[in-house]
A = this chain, B = another copy of it.
Amino acid sequence: MTAFTSISQFARMLRNLDQWLQRSVDYAQEKKFEPDVLASARLAPNQYELVRQVQSACDAAKYAAAYLSGQQAPSHPDTEKTISELRARIQKCVAYLDGFKASDFTGAEERRIAPPWMEGKSVRGDIYLQRIAVANFYFHVTTAYAILRHNGVELGKADFVGVTSWSELSDA
């Protein structure tokens, strides 16, 4: 479980998230409501709505890849308002993540990571990945899923993990 395999897992989960959004659009059509109503849905008045959960999940993955490889993260402005725009944001992020190869993360675990919000402080790469990037990424992706479930979209644990057949895993 390296920085590279974590980034690959983020990409896999973002593809799952894209599928949940597709299922949400299908559900809206079936129930005859405007799918973009879900874009502003939230679980608590002082918690992010779906749009910001998806943006934040993408950013957690994007910045982890950039920081851990020592690259500059591309700018992905938070302009999305619709499910369709969110899906495009996910595709843009996944394309960025897919561009990395294992060797880009050589030494990532020992690299000092200094995100702007740490205001001059830094943290070792492995700690950053485990305690900040992975925790934040799953927080936002799971909350996005929870918002959809709470609004009636038919999803189950297999959709979350994104496994339709165990043979996919058992071959590994």
Contacts and interface: CB of A to CB of B under 8 A. Distances in A.
How many copies the complex holds: the figure is 2
A66 B13 CA distance: 25
A143 B135 CA distance: 13
Interface string A139-151: 1001101100110
A1 B172 contact: no
A170 B43 contact: no
A43 B150 contact: yes
A94 B130 CA distance: 18
A167 B121 contact: yes
Interface residues of A, number: 46
B170 A157 contact: no
Contact of A138 (B1, B6, B135, B172): B135
A118 B166 contact: yes
Given A138-B138, A139-B157, A142-B142, 20 more contacts: A1-B3, A1-B129, A6-B130, A9-B135, A43-B146, A43-B150, A44-B150, A121-B166, A121-B169, A123-B169, A131-B161, A131-B163, A132-B169, A134-B138, A136-B157, A138-B139, A139-B142, A139-B161, A142-B146, A150-B150
A49 interface: no
A62 B65 CA distance: 29
Contact of A142 (B44, B122, B138, B152): B138
A18 to B, nearest CB: 16
